[in-house]
Amino acid sequence: MEKHPRINVLVKSILFWIVFVLLLLTSGLLASFFPPKLSRLLYGSLGTIGSFIATWIFIKSEKLSFKAIGLIWQSGTFLRFIKGLFIGTIIFALMVFALISLTGLHIETNSKGISNATLLGCLTLVPLALMEEVGFRAYTFLKMNKVFGLRITQLVTALAFSSYHILNGWSIYTSFTGPFVWAFVFGLSAIWSRGISMPTGIHVALNMGQLLIGTTGNANAIWKLDYTGVASKADLARTAHIALSLHIIVLICAVGLMEVFIRKNKSLST
């Protein structure tokens, strides 16, 4: 394995993801003993701890530290997280605006306003996003980037990220039109900002946007993205095609920006 660094890193990355998933399963089992309102927050919190434990196991075997892979709090960490929130919000807002402009969808305000359940849901998104960013954009991302280059690292990580969502019960179509695409955005922001605080912010903003407009089935959403009247099959099909097209555009933009980054940093290209 020492003579084949690429195979070595790939095997270690796969083993890391297996350990990561097993620790998340343990976190989910422990969280299930608590009331439903708190179980998801507890799962995210325990899952984040689990992601750091998985990282510690692997970096310890290589005599590395969390500082060596950038998993420490720094003076600019919170600011980069806020920038990520802003970027994610802008991207999400543009996609919603496009859907409203090109389909029969519209946004209406929920007369109930902000509920405690909504606030708790928003709070829960932070540890849930953080545990996934630690799991997919930290140790394994840096290790693969050193031996494979950014292009292959992005592709392998995106495949792993979408497969992880399939294991969580997502459909293959949704996993590859959603998480697979966004993995390129998160990965690019991680390598560009040299850490996971910015991609975590983008991740939280995107998930929070879906929660607040009810696309995740949240009955306590502040706004509701819906059709005026009853939507026909043609309306639904058109919306699905436009949503897919928007995600393809996001993927193209992420890959394009990745190429710009690689050309400016030749040492990162394969």
Domain ranges across the chain: 75-268
Looking at residue 143, what is its pLDDT?
A: 95
Looking at residue 82, what is its pLDDT?
A: 97
Per-residue pLDDT at 166 exceeds 50: yes
pLDDT, tens digit, 9 for 90 and up, residues 171-191: 999 999 999 999 999 999 999
Best CA proximity match to 136, nearest among 205, 181, 196, 189: 196
For residues 48 and 139, give the distance between their C-alpha atoms in angstroms, rounded to a whole number.
14
- The mean pLDDT value of the chain amounts to 91
- Which contiguous run of DSSP H or E holds residue 223? strand 223-227
pTM summary value: 0.92
pLDDT level of residue 113 (50, 70, 90 thresholds): low
Burial 20-41 (b: 16+ CB within 10 A, else e): bbebbeebbeebeeeeeeebbb
What is the rounded average pLDDT of the residues 236-253?
94
**For the chain, percent helix, then strand, then coil, each to nearest 5?**
75, 5, 20
